[in-house]
Amino acid sequence: MKSSSRAVSLMHEEKLGVLCSGRGSNLASIIAAIEDGSIHAEIAVVIADKADAYALERAREKGIPAIAVVRRDYAERDAFERALLEQLHAHGVTLVVLAGFMRILSPLFVHAYTGRILNIHPALLPSFPGAHAHRDALAYGVKVSGCTAHFVDEGTDSGPIILQAAVPVLAGDTEETLAARVLEQEHQIFSEAIRLYVEGRLRLDGRKVYILQEDEGEES
Protein backbone atom coordinates (compact mmCIF):
# COMPACT_ATOMS: atom_id res chain seq x y z
CA MET A 1 0.00 0.00 0.00
CA LYS A 2 1.32 3.45 -0.83
CA SER A 3 2.48 5.45 2.18
CA SER A 4 1.48 8.88 0.88
CA SER A 5 -1.40 10.65 2.57
CA ARG A 6 -4.39 10.88 0.26
CA ALA A 7 -8.15 10.69 0.17
CA VAL A 8 -9.51 7.52 -1.38
CA SER A 9 -12.34 7.38 -3.94
CA LEU A 10 -14.74 9.87 -5.47
CA MET A 11 -18.41 10.07 -4.57
CA HIS A 12 -21.08 8.54 -6.84
CA GLU A 13 -18.62 7.10 -9.37
CA GLU A 14 -17.83 3.65 -8.05
CA LYS A 15 -18.61 0.38 -9.78
CA LEU A 16 -18.13 -2.53 -7.43
CA GLY A 17 -16.81 -5.93 -8.37
CA VAL A 18 -17.70 -8.34 -5.59
CA LEU A 19 -15.67 -11.55 -5.25
CA CYS A 20 -17.21 -14.42 -3.26
CA SER A 21 -16.65 -18.08 -2.52
CA GLY A 22 -19.79 -19.18 -0.70
CA ARG A 23 -23.25 -18.14 0.45
CA GLY A 24 -22.81 -14.44 -0.13
CA SER A 25 -24.38 -13.13 3.07
CA ASN A 26 -22.05 -10.12 3.06
CA LEU A 27 -22.98 -9.60 -0.58
CA ALA A 28 -26.64 -9.57 0.45
CA SER A 29 -25.98 -6.89 3.06
CA ILE A 30 -24.12 -4.75 0.50
CA ILE A 31 -26.99 -5.10 -1.98
CA ALA A 32 -29.44 -4.07 0.75
CA ALA A 33 -27.32 -1.01 1.61
CA ILE A 34 -27.27 0.04 -2.04
CA GLU A 35 -31.02 -0.48 -2.39
CA ASP A 36 -31.82 1.63 0.68
CA GLY A 37 -29.55 4.44 -0.50
CA SER A 38 -26.86 4.02 2.16
CA ILE A 39 -24.21 3.26 -0.46
CA HIS A 40 -24.25 5.31 -3.65
CA ALA A 41 -22.63 2.80 -5.98
CA GLU A 42 -23.44 0.07 -8.46
CA ILE A 43 -22.46 -3.59 -8.27
CA ALA A 44 -21.14 -4.11 -11.79
CA VAL A 45 -20.41 -7.81 -11.42
CA VAL A 46 -20.29 -10.63 -8.87
CA ILE A 47 -17.60 -13.26 -9.42
CA ALA A 48 -17.29 -16.53 -7.53
CA ASP A 49 -14.43 -19.02 -7.64
CA LYS A 50 -16.92 -21.90 -7.32
CA ALA A 51 -19.63 -22.58 -9.89
CA ASP A 52 -22.12 -23.60 -7.19
CA ALA A 53 -21.54 -20.63 -4.86
CA TYR A 54 -24.94 -19.37 -3.71
CA ALA A 55 -23.64 -15.81 -4.01
CA LEU A 56 -24.08 -16.14 -7.77
CA GLU A 57 -27.76 -16.94 -7.34
CA ARG A 58 -28.20 -13.97 -5.02
CA ALA A 59 -26.73 -11.73 -7.71
CA ARG A 60 -28.84 -13.17 -10.51
CA GLU A 61 -32.01 -12.67 -8.46
CA LYS A 62 -31.16 -8.95 -8.41
CA GLY A 63 -30.28 -8.76 -12.07
CA ILE A 64 -26.57 -8.35 -11.37
CA PRO A 65 -24.09 -10.01 -13.77
CA ALA A 66 -22.85 -13.17 -12.06
CA ILE A 67 -19.85 -15.11 -13.32
CA ALA A 68 -18.01 -18.19 -12.12
CA VAL A 69 -14.24 -18.12 -12.61
CA VAL A 70 -13.29 -21.51 -11.19
CA ARG A 71 -9.76 -21.90 -9.87
CA ARG A 72 -9.37 -25.55 -10.87
CA ASP A 73 -9.96 -24.62 -14.50
CA TYR A 74 -6.58 -22.87 -14.55
CA ALA A 75 -3.23 -24.60 -14.23
CA GLU A 76 -1.51 -21.55 -12.76
CA ARG A 77 -2.65 -18.98 -10.21
CA ASP A 78 -1.51 -16.17 -12.50
CA ALA A 79 -3.84 -17.41 -15.23
CA PHE A 80 -6.71 -17.60 -12.76
CA GLU A 81 -6.11 -14.08 -11.49
CA ARG A 82 -5.74 -12.71 -15.01
CA ALA A 83 -9.15 -14.20 -15.78
CA LEU A 84 -10.57 -12.44 -12.72
CA LEU A 85 -8.99 -9.16 -13.79
CA GLU A 86 -10.30 -9.57 -17.33
CA GLN A 87 -13.87 -9.82 -16.03
CA LEU A 88 -13.42 -6.91 -13.62
CA HIS A 89 -12.00 -4.68 -16.34
CA ALA A 90 -14.68 -5.76 -18.83
CA HIS A 91 -17.36 -4.61 -16.37
CA GLY A 92 -15.65 -1.30 -15.60
CA VAL A 93 -15.00 -2.14 -11.96
CA THR A 94 -13.37 0.62 -9.92
CA LEU A 95 -13.51 -0.97 -6.45
CA VAL A 96 -12.96 -4.66 -5.69
CA VAL A 97 -14.85 -5.99 -2.68
CA LEU A 98 -13.83 -9.34 -1.18
CA ALA A 99 -16.98 -10.65 0.47
CA GLY A 100 -16.02 -14.08 1.75
CA PHE A 101 -13.53 -14.70 -1.05
CA MET A 102 -11.39 -17.52 0.33
CA ARG A 103 -8.25 -17.03 -1.72
CA ILE A 104 -5.11 -15.03 -1.11
CA LEU A 105 -4.48 -12.63 -3.97
CA SER A 106 -1.00 -12.31 -5.43
CA PRO A 107 0.87 -9.05 -6.11
CA LEU A 108 -0.22 -9.41 -9.76
CA PHE A 109 -3.83 -8.84 -8.76
CA VAL A 110 -3.23 -6.39 -5.91
CA HIS A 111 -1.11 -4.09 -8.08
CA ALA A 112 -3.90 -3.90 -10.66
CA TYR A 113 -6.19 -2.34 -8.03
CA THR A 114 -3.76 -0.79 -5.55
CA GLY A 115 -5.70 1.00 -2.81
CA ARG A 116 -8.97 -0.15 -4.38
CA ILE A 117 -9.54 -3.56 -2.76
CA LEU A 118 -11.52 -3.94 0.47
CA ASN A 119 -11.84 -7.09 2.57
CA ILE A 120 -13.79 -8.18 5.64
CA HIS A 121 -12.02 -10.53 8.06
CA PRO A 122 -13.71 -12.33 10.98
CA ALA A 123 -11.22 -11.36 13.70
CA LEU A 124 -9.71 -8.27 15.27
CA LEU A 125 -6.60 -7.93 13.13
CA PRO A 126 -3.69 -8.14 13.46
CA SER A 127 -4.76 -11.07 15.65
CA PHE A 128 -5.76 -14.31 13.93
CA PRO A 129 -5.25 -13.67 10.21
CA GLY A 130 -5.92 -16.41 7.69
CA ALA A 131 -8.71 -18.85 7.00
CA HIS A 132 -9.33 -20.22 10.53
CA ALA A 133 -9.85 -17.08 12.59
CA HIS A 134 -12.64 -18.43 14.82
CA ARG A 135 -10.83 -21.69 15.52
CA ASP A 136 -7.64 -19.82 16.35
CA ALA A 137 -9.40 -17.29 18.58
CA LEU A 138 -11.12 -20.02 20.59
CA ALA A 139 -7.93 -22.07 20.87
CA TYR A 140 -6.02 -19.05 22.18
CA GLY A 141 -8.65 -18.32 24.78
CA VAL A 142 -9.36 -14.69 23.97
CA LYS A 143 -12.32 -13.06 25.72
CA VAL A 144 -13.11 -10.71 22.82
CA SER A 145 -13.08 -11.39 19.10
CA GLY A 146 -14.76 -9.49 16.28
CA CYS A 147 -14.21 -8.44 12.69
CA THR A 148 -12.13 -6.03 10.65
CA ALA A 149 -12.78 -4.17 7.41
CA HIS A 150 -9.47 -3.31 5.78
CA PHE A 151 -7.66 -2.42 2.60
CA VAL A 152 -5.90 -5.31 0.90
CA ASP A 153 -2.15 -5.28 0.40
CA GLU A 154 0.27 -8.00 -0.65
CA GLY A 155 0.19 -9.77 2.72
CA THR A 156 -2.39 -12.05 4.30
CA ASP A 157 -5.02 -9.90 6.05
CA SER A 158 -2.31 -7.31 6.67
CA GLY A 159 -3.63 -4.18 4.95
CA PRO A 160 -4.52 -0.90 6.68
CA ILE A 161 -7.52 -1.17 9.00
CA ILE A 162 -10.65 0.87 8.25
CA LEU A 163 -13.18 -0.28 10.85
CA GLN A 164 -13.42 -2.91 13.57
CA ALA A 165 -16.21 -4.28 15.74
CA ALA A 166 -15.73 -6.26 18.94
CA VAL A 167 -17.75 -9.35 19.83
CA PRO A 168 -17.47 -11.05 23.23
CA VAL A 169 -16.43 -14.68 23.31
CA LEU A 170 -18.87 -16.54 25.53
CA ALA A 171 -18.29 -19.59 27.69
CA GLY A 172 -19.19 -22.64 25.66
CA ASP A 173 -18.81 -20.91 22.29
CA THR A 174 -18.10 -23.10 19.30
CA GLU A 175 -16.69 -21.94 16.00
CA GLU A 176 -20.25 -21.89 14.66
CA THR A 177 -21.82 -19.86 17.47
CA LEU A 178 -18.99 -17.34 17.52
CA ALA A 179 -19.03 -17.06 13.73
CA ALA A 180 -22.76 -16.34 13.72
CA ARG A 181 -22.41 -13.40 16.13
CA VAL A 182 -19.35 -12.04 14.37
CA LEU A 183 -21.14 -12.25 11.02
CA GLU A 184 -23.84 -9.88 12.26
CA GLN A 185 -21.15 -7.27 12.86
CA GLU A 186 -19.44 -8.01 9.55
CA HIS A 187 -22.62 -7.01 7.76
CA GLN A 188 -22.65 -3.70 9.61
CA ILE A 189 -19.06 -2.55 9.31
CA PHE A 190 -18.32 -3.80 5.81
CA SER A 191 -21.19 -1.86 4.29
CA GLU A 192 -20.10 1.15 6.33
CA ALA A 193 -16.51 0.85 5.10
CA ILE A 194 -17.69 0.68 1.50
CA ARG A 195 -19.92 3.71 2.06
CA LEU A 196 -17.00 5.71 3.47
CA TYR A 197 -14.83 4.73 0.52
CA VAL A 198 -17.49 5.67 -2.03
CA GLU A 199 -17.98 9.04 -0.34
CA GLY A 200 -14.24 9.76 -0.49
CA ARG A 201 -13.99 9.83 3.29
CA LEU A 202 -11.02 7.51 3.80
CA ARG A 203 -7.53 8.96 3.95
CA LEU A 204 -4.53 6.65 3.92
CA ASP A 205 -1.35 7.75 5.65
CA GLY A 206 1.04 4.84 5.78
CA ARG A 207 -0.69 2.11 7.77
CA LYS A 208 -3.24 4.49 9.25
CA VAL A 209 -6.69 5.14 7.80
CA TYR A 210 -8.36 8.38 8.82
CA ILE A 211 -12.12 8.84 8.46
CA LEU A 212 -12.93 12.32 7.19
CA GLN A 213 -15.98 14.40 7.93
CA GLU A 214 -18.54 14.54 5.13
CA ASP A 215 -17.51 17.97 3.86
CA GLU A 216 -13.83 16.97 3.91
CA GLY A 217 -14.54 13.87 1.83
CA GLU A 218 -16.31 15.73 -0.93
CA GLU A 219 -13.55 18.33 -1.15
CA SER A 220 -10.68 15.81 -1.28
Q: Which positions are catalytic?
A: 121
Burial of residue 92 (number of CB atoms within 10 Å: 0-12, 13-18, 19+)? exposed
Work out the angle at residue 196's Cα, subtended by the Cα atoms of residues 17 and 156, and round it to the nearest 5 degrees.
Answer: 60
- Using DSSP bridges, classify how beta strands 208-211 and 202-205 pair: parallel, antiparallel or unpaired: antiparallel
**φ, ψ of residue 86 in degrees (nearest 5):** -60, -45
Q: How far is CA 187 from CA 92, 181, 205, in A?
A: 25, 11, 26
Bin 172: left if φ > 0, else alpha if -120 < ψ < 50, else beta. Answer: left
Q: Any bridge partners for residue 165, and if so which?
A: 147
